[in-house]
Amino acid sequence: MNKTLVLVVEDDAPVRNLITTTLKAHDYRFLKAENGENAILGTASHNPDVILLDLGLPDIDGVEVIKRIRTWSNVPIIIISARSEDCDKIEALDAGADDYLTKPFSVEELLARLRVTERRLAYMQNGQVTGAVFTNGALKIDYAAGCAYMQEKELHLTPIEYKLLCLLSKNIGKVLTHTYITQQIWGHSWENDVASLRVFMATLRKKLEKESGTVQYIQTHIGVGYRMMKVE
Ligand code: CA
């Protein structure tokens, strides 16, 4: 039985009802908040496992809600944004959100995002991310030795490819924006960095795929960034 507690933050009643009905039908527990203040209060008092957060709220901005929650909690936050809020979506990811859904979304999409987040939670709790050796499907990274392997074969990565792979692996399940990644890798985020990032990602991905076949480890989020997926 699914016992995950989801806090649904949405001021639009029909959307809120669609979400809670879906959650109920799939055995999730849920709480509701219709504005930002109640979202922060609800998070503090009920300690939810996941937050579904609409960005356009009547009182405080969704990005501000994330910043405030992140001062004390690492709870996974999935943003729900309208297409007109694309810049806000990137800002929200940089403020510490984990993933996003764009309105209008399907029920299947919502459930899929929740499953990704739950897998990430289970993974974090098992300590596979914080340990010295990271494993995800056939991918293995020995952080201490500075080596990565696919199907037991060592991957020949350039220093930047290896840094990228480590960064993605340490944030498995989470969407990392171009700005975040370039800042972590190069210490700044200029136009050129994003273009270089695209090139490095393409070669890294080719090297991973050469050994892993069709398994997709790195997901591209066009105009947003990249995410490492948990592979079964
Ligand atoms: Ca709204």
Distance 34 CA to ligand 1 centre (A): 9
DSSP-derived secondary structure letter, 142: E
Average confidence (pLDDT) over 145-152: 93
Distance 56 CA to ligand 1 centre (A): 4
Contacts of 16 (CB under 8 A, 6+ apart): 8, 10, 32, 34
Closest by alpha carbon to 39, among 17, 67, 14? 67
Identify the pLDDT of residue 132. 86
Q: Residue for token digits 């299947």?
A: 108
Q: How far is CA 83 from CA 29, 45, 66, 209, in A?
A: 28, 31, 19, 32
DSSP-derived secondary structure letter, 4: -
Distance 175 CA to ligand 1 centre (A): 22
Distance 210 CA to ligand 1 centre (A): 44
User: What is the rounded CA–CA span in Å between residue 20 and residue 18?
Assistant: 6
**What is the residue type of 51?**
I
pTM of the model: 0.84
Whether the predicted pLDDT of 20 surpasses 80? yes
Query: If pLDDT is split at 50, 70 and 90, which confidence band does 128 have?
Result: low
Query: If pLDDT is split at 50, 70 and 90, which confidence band does 75 have?
Result: very high
Whether the predicted pLDDT of 1 surpasses 70? no
Q: Indicate the pairing of strand 99-102 with strand 77-81.
A: parallel
| pLDDT tens string 161-178 | 999 999 999 999 999 999
Average pLDDT taken over every residue of the chain: 91
Distance 46 CA to ligand 1 centre (A): 22
Determine the distance from the C-alpha atom of residue 229 to the mean position of all C-alpha atoms in its chain, rounded to a whole number. Answer: 9
